[in-house]
């Protein structure tokens, strides 16, 4: 009997050694495919151990960029992200679009505070998206920029930025007080008149400052992510350094004060012939369907990179 067990042990040892030798040789000959096979198996196991939700609720709050002005057919990025999540992630998606054209950060907050229904929607959301800041900056430019004194204008915008930061903090505090577990995705603003007025560098500067402030504020919250679409949306089809250079050389001389109101911008744009292929031709300000696709793709990529909203608790 002992001889039989000894024989069995020898066979088992030989089998194990043979398997190890086979794996080692195979790995040396095909290191990438072997590693990929192991990774795929590990990933598959991980996916099996982490069940995903089959349906989610997405609540979008903000201004005209959330409302979808410029792409009424699909409802802007809110309508597009619903389609994307349904087709690519096979999810049942319920959306609430609480965007209102012209709203500043404090007005977005006021609507949330006023509506019990919206508060309940936010409380039950898996995902909350926000567009904010554009109207706050526009209000500053319209109400305070009265000269081409750069130092004075910079000080005015810096002061307004501090006020904006406080309003933004109050807004995000409200959202997280209603729902601490939802993932919060916040878009940057962009310069809608860049293609026609690329030499008015102060607008670019103020847009970047505003975005930096929003990004800094967002970073202070859990499950909150800032999404920068500024350069892509502002530059449109002009992507390379050479194209931007050519654009600047062809641009007419325009000052900041000549663009310091909505009416002035509209009049100035009517005299220009260039268009941004991501901006609606109806107002030269809001995204068109293609522009909102930039928003949607950025949101989708960020959601996949930070997918706690998708995992079952």
What's residue 254's pLDDT?
A: 67
- Least confident range from 46-50, 120-124, 152-156, 165-169: namely 46-50
Contact 128, 183 (CB under 8 A): yes
Locate tokens 């847009």: which residue? 207
Q: Confidence class of residue 47 from pLDDT cuts 50, 70 and 90?
A: very low
Q: pLDDT at position 13, please?
A: 45
Q: Give, to the nearest 10 degrees, the angle between helix 31-49 and helix 2-29.
A: 110
Rg of the chain taking only CA atoms, in angstroms: 27
pLDDT at 22: 44
d(CA 193, CA 284): 8
Paired tokens of 256: 């900041």
Say how far apart CA 204 and CA 225 lie, in whole Å.
22
* Per-residue model confidence (pLDDT) at position 7: 46
Kindly state the helix (H) or strand (E) to which residue 256 belongs, with its residue range: none
pLDDT digits (tens, 9 = 90+) for 229-253: 999 999 999 999 999 999 888 887 6
Torsion angle, alpha carbons of 74, 87, 312, 66, to 10: -10
What confidence tens digit (pLDDT) does each residue in 273-286 have?
Answer: 688 999 998 888 99
Is the per-residue pLDDT at 14 higher than 50? no
Distance CA 49, CA 46 (A): 5
Give the mean pLDDT of 50-78: 93
Q: How far apart are the first and last CA of the chain?
A: 55
% of the chain residues with pLDDT over 70: 76
Q: Distance of CA 97 to CAs 62, 64, 282, Å? A: 9, 11, 22
What pLDDT shows up at residue 265? 65
> How confident is the model over 182-225, as pLDDT tens digits?
999 999 999 998 998 898 888 999 999 999 999 999 999 999 99
Helix axes 76-89, 289-305, angle to 10 degrees: 50
Distance CA 160, CA 137 (A): 8
What is the model's pLDDT at position 24? 46
Q: Which residues contact 292 (CB under 8 A, 6 or more apart)?
A: 68, 70, 71, 74, 76, 77, 80
Are residues 127 and 309 in contact, defined by beta-carbon separation less than 8 angstroms? yes
Going by pLDDT thresholds of 50, 70 and 90, the confidence category of residue 72 is confident
Whether 31 has a pLDDT exceeding 70, the answer reads: no
More confident residue, 153 or 267: 153
In this predicted model, what pLDDT tens digit does every residue of 89-116 receive, in sequence order? 999 999 999 999 999 999 999 999 999 9
Q: Which residue has the tokens 């500053």?
A: 140
> What are the backbone angles phi and psi of residue 176, rounded to the nearest 5°?
-80, -20
């Amino acid at each position: 009997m002992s001889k039989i067990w000894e024989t069995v042990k020898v066979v088992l040892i030989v089998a194990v050694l043979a398997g190890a030798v086979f794996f080692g040789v195979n790995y040396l000959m095909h290191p990438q495919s072997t590693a990929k096979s192991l990774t795929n198996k590990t990933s598959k196991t991980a996916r099996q151990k982490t069940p995903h939700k089959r349906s989610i609720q997405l609540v979008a709050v903000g201004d005209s960029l959330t409302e979808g002005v410029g792409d009424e057919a699909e409802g802007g990025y809110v309508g597009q992200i619903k389609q994307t999540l349904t087709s690519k992630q096979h999810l049942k998606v319920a959306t609430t679009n609480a965007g209102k054209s012209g709203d500043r950060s404090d007005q977005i907050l006021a609507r949330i505070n006023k509506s019990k229904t919206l508060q309940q929607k936010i409380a039950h959301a898996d995902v909350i998206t926000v567009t904010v800041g554009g109207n706050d900056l526009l209000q500053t430019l319209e109400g305070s920029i009265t000269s081409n004194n750069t130092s004075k204008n910079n000080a005015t915008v810096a002061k307004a930025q501090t006020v904006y930061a406080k309003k933004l903090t109050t807004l995000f505090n409200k959202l997280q007080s209603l729902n601490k577990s939802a993932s919060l995705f916040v878009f940057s603003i962009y310069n809608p008149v860049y293609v026609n007025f690329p030499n008015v560098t102060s607008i670019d500067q103020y847009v970047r400052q505003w975005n930096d402030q929003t990004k800094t504020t967002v970073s202070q919250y859990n499950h909150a992510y800032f999404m920068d679409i500024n350069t892509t949306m502002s530059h449109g089809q002009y992507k390379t350094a050479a194209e931007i250079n050519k654009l600047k050389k062809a641009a007419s001389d325009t000052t900041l004060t000549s663009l310091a109101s909505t009416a002035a911008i509209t009049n100035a744009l009517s005299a220009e012939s260039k268009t941004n292929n991501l901006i609606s031709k109806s107002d030269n300000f809001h995204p068109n369907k293609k522009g909102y696709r930039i928003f949607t793709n950025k949101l989708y990529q960020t959601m996949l990179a930070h997918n706690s909203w998708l995992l079952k608790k």
